[in-house]
Structure 1
Amino acid sequence: MTKLVWMTDLHLVERGSDRPAGVDPLTGLRNAIEEIELFHNDAVRLVISGDLVQLHNPGAYRILREELASLSIPVRPLAGNHDDRAALLDIFPKVGQGGFVQQAEDIVAGRLIYADTKASDGGHHGELCDLRIEWLAEQVHLAVGRPLPLSSPPTFRYRRSGARPATPPQQQWAGGAAHKPHGANIPVLRTPAQERVGDLAGPSNPGSKEHACSVRPRYEG
């Protein structure tokens, strides 16, 4: 069994800035990191989908990097609608390809694709421009039958692309999704950003936003 740990919507703020909804996100992050090290240090990756920081808090990426330094497992941050792509890539340059927060890698369970769906106009919707669609199409065709983690996934109702693989992906994850996902024979594991309780295997610590997921083959043969 391959284990991935997934967190979403940290909404970190710069030191001295107002806390979102009066909640201290840094304490929540530290609680999650502590639990990951205690109970999930056998995970192969920690995926953190956006929003990594609260809107207009680019200095919080440096805080995030400092807090993640103690983790013993590799971390893959993703951009959400509140995130500043340039500021994020300045602090985490290795997560970028082609000027976007996107990359792909192989693990024992298969190939993981981390797509950048942040809208170019700064809106709250997801978006894939021509450059990202071209990149994603290439990665999807290399990932037939494997998990696809996505943050703020776009709806393809208004745009069709050639990014559909000949064989459906084995499993698609949609973190930060505010709508009900539907797929054509593609299982979707949804982690709603707005739910604080009962979000997948809910965190044992109320101040934590940590979620542990096990990746297993959905279909045989």
Structure 2
Amino acid sequence: MTDQAASGKATKRTLRAEVLAVRRRLTEDDAQKAAAVLAERALELPELAGAGTVAAYVSVGGEPGTRALLDALHARGTRVLLPVLLPDNDLDWGTYGGEGSLVRVQHARKMALLEPSGSPLGPDAVLEADVVLLPGLAVDGRGMRLGRGGGSYDRVLARLEREGVDPALVVLLYDSEVVAHVPAEAHDRPVRAVVTPAGVRHFG
């Protein structure tokens, strides 16, 4: 690893720790209010308005809440795919069937996740998505996204690129998580837009 790459990884770790510390200070009331506004803002995205299939995720912990958005997309007839974490950290996918269609799954040495209860569709199901909503911790003015570092979505993005599929990539964040700079590595891909409670921002 070069000195520059090592420095970039260290900067990412520092930025992750700072963002997570701020998220931990959010009250449950603040988080619920932000989630409701976030859903409204996201539904204004033209990319979502015309999407037949959206790959999304169920928020956990202090992440910006996605449940209201998932329900709104499902209610208007959008096919919503949700991830199923595999033992190697890759993601399988299942279809969201609305309230009551999620099961709590405890993964070894990881937090419990809410995952779709139906039959898994396979990791390549994400290739059918018109929009992929990505979890993240920060994004900068170039659209470079800071993930949690687990590598699951790096695999998803690599799969999309390998197959020549180009869905709209959108990250959902709190307002303070749009930052001046996110260190980028060779495999990182910019997102098309960020949605925060304050509004939507598209990148070139």
Which bracket does the TM-score occupy, shorter chain normalised?
Answer: 0.3 to 0.5
TM-score normalized with structure 2 length: 0.38
Higher relative helix content: 2
